[in-house]
Amino acid sequence: MLTLIHLFSALRLLTDCRAVHSGSLAVRESLIGARAATRNPRIESASRRKRC
């Protein structure tokens, strides 16, 4: 249950990042981020927050 919540928060952060950044780089980052979020959502969401 917690992993699902973290996954959704990571996805929300990814959409925020996509709005800030532009181009294929943001898309590539979101794909990498989504893959990392499935592995360890807590670390991914924390790194997203720092990057954005």
Query: Residue 21 has what DSSP assignment?
Result: S
Contact 45, 9 (CB under 8 A): yes
Residue 14 has what pLDDT?
A: 66
Which residues of the chain have a pLDDT value below 50?
none
Q: How high is the pLDDT of residue 42?
A: 63
Q: What is the pLDDT of residue 22?
A: 56
Residue 10 CA from chain centroid, whole number = 4
Residue of 20, 17, 42 lying closest to 31 (CA atoms): 17
Q: What is the pLDDT of residue 11?
A: 74
Q: What are phi and psi of 48, to 5 degrees?
A: -60, -45
